[in-house]
Amino acid sequence: MSRRYPTMLAVAAVLTLSLPMLAFAANKDGAQDPKPWSYLGANLIMADVAEVEPNNSLATAQLLSCGDVLRPATISASGDTDYVKITVPANTTLTIGTDADGTTGQLTDSRIRLFNASGVVVASDDDSGPGAYSLLTYVATAGGTFYVGVAGYSSSYTGSYKLFVTCSTPQPPPVNDICAGALPIECGNINVTGSTVNANNDYSPSAGLGGCTGYSAVGKDVVYVINAAGSDSLDVTYTSAADGSIYLITNCSSPSTSCVKGADAGLTGAAEHLTYTFPSSGIYYLVLDNYAVSTLGAFTLTGSMTCHVVPANRKTWGAIKSYYR
């Protein structure tokens, strides 16, 4: 398999759901990823709720809870719209979709609209689900009550269907998401496991090809800090479930200009090996990153930090505080 080219920027489609720690990178062989609907698992479903009529207006909308499945449900007549309502806290990601319910006389082409508490349409979808069914994702930043309206694509479409409503709230980023919370790497053996699933894309060693790794790194990243003395050496192997990129910087405000060493030789799941002998004492930041946009995943960092001299300033309160500045 050939290495990347400048125009081949992999873009990951990531749903904000409570999923296992996986690397959501676009397929490099050009194959299409499944639609987001295929990621919805049974673990997100709380209960089946039967449709209760009348529910053909916002005022008569049927109450659902996060994780409920409206089933059986039916668009019974030309122009019919079924409404449900759901109340969620702030910063909730709503994923709403329709699908076949396994009975005869299916509604084969649906459309859905999402209304806020004032009855204003804030999102809509026609065919993003399987076949001609609907799927949308909406972040309810302020929370509150929302209404979902389900109808046939046109007046000629009627029949039975099921409606899913799932909710998730974003997990906080890890403490070492940025340099200010970087976790220390001490002298001796290194054996670290973690994940960039909830991290952000805070740093990149370059804007494109070139730089200290040879590539940009616009995936999610976490940071470790090293209080090095001159002649100390670092020898680490970083393996990410995504396409990993690892680099050492001295200035978190300017990673591309302060990067002293980096590695990005492999593709998804390949190990990246970085060695560096520190020329002088100072604070260095080791960034564990990923190559493509929004890529993320579980990782391991193994190796050693060899300290030939243990200067007194490593034991001072000021040195300890430098790890957390």
Out of 139, 168, 197, a domain closes at 168
Chain centre to alpha carbon of residue 302: 25
Claim to verify: residue 289 and residue 185 sit in the same structural domain: yes
Kindly indicate the confidence band of residue 22, based on its pLDDT and cuts at 50, 70 and 90.
very low
Claim to verify: residue 187 and residue 315 sit in the same structural domain: yes
Place of tokens 């053996």: 189
Claim to verify: residue 144 and residue 192 sit in the same structural domain: no
- Rounded distance, CA 225 to CA 324, Å? 9
Claim to verify: residue 230 and residue 99 sit in the same structural domain: no
The answer to whether residue 146 scores a pLDDT higher than 70 is yes
The pLDDT, as a whole number, for residue 6 is 37
The pLDDT, as a whole number, for residue 30 is 35
- Rounded distance, CA 303 to CA 275, Å? 10
Kindly indicate the confidence band of residue 321, based on its pLDDT and cuts at 50, 70 and 90.
very low
The pLDDT, as a whole number, for residue 209 is 77
Peptide bond between residue 173 and the one before it cis (omega within 30 degrees of 0)? no
pLDDT mean over 2-22: 34
We report the CATH number of the domain holding residue 248 as 2.60.120.380
Structural domain contains residue 8 = no
Structural domain contains residue 245 = yes
The pTM assigned to this predicted structure is 0.56
Structural domain contains residue 309 = yes
Claim to verify: residue 142 and residue 222 sit in the same structural domain: no
pLDDT tens track for 153-210: 988 899 999 999 999 887 889 999 999 999 999 999 999 999 999 999 999 998 777 8
Kind plus residue range of the DSSP H or E element containing 321: helix 317-322
Kind plus residue range of the DSSP H or E element containing 99: strand 92-99
Claim to verify: residue 151 and residue 241 sit in the same structural domain: no
Q: Got the DSSP string for 274-314?
A: EEEE-SSSEEEEEEEEESSBT---EEEEEEEEE-S---GGG
pLDDT mean over 227-231: 96
The answer to whether residue 322 scores a pLDDT higher than 90 is no
| Overall domain count for the chain | 2
The answer to whether residue 12 scores a pLDDT higher than 50 is no
Claim to verify: residue 148 and residue 206 sit in the same structural domain: no
Assigned token pair, 171: 């997990």
pLDDT tens track for 103-140: 888 998 999 999 999 999 999 999 999 899 999 999 99
The pLDDT, as a whole number, for residue 229 is 96
Structural domain contains residue 41 = yes
Out of 147, 168, 189, a domain closes at 168
Chain centre to alpha carbon of residue 54: 39
Question: Which 8-state DSSP code applies to residue 78?
Answer: T
Claim to verify: residue 184 and residue 310 sit in the same structural domain: yes
Kindly indicate the confidence band of residue 238, based on its pLDDT and cuts at 50, 70 and 90.
very high
The pLDDT, as a whole number, for residue 112 is 96
Q: 80: Cβ–Cβ under 8 A, 6 or more apart, which residues?
A: 56, 151, 152, 158
Structural domain contains residue 1 = no
**Which residues lie across from 73 on neighbouring strands?**
161
The pLDDT, as a whole number, for residue 72 is 87
State phi, psi for 256 to the nearest 5 degrees.
-70, -30
Task: Name the residue range of residue 189's domain.
Answer: 179-322
Structural domain contains residue 174 = no
Claim to verify: residue 200 and residue 232 sit in the same structural domain: yes
pLDDT tens track for 256-294: 999 999 999 877 778 999 999 999 999 999 999 999 888
Structural domain contains residue 19 = no
The answer to whether residue 56 scores a pLDDT higher than 90 is yes
Structural domain contains residue 28 = no
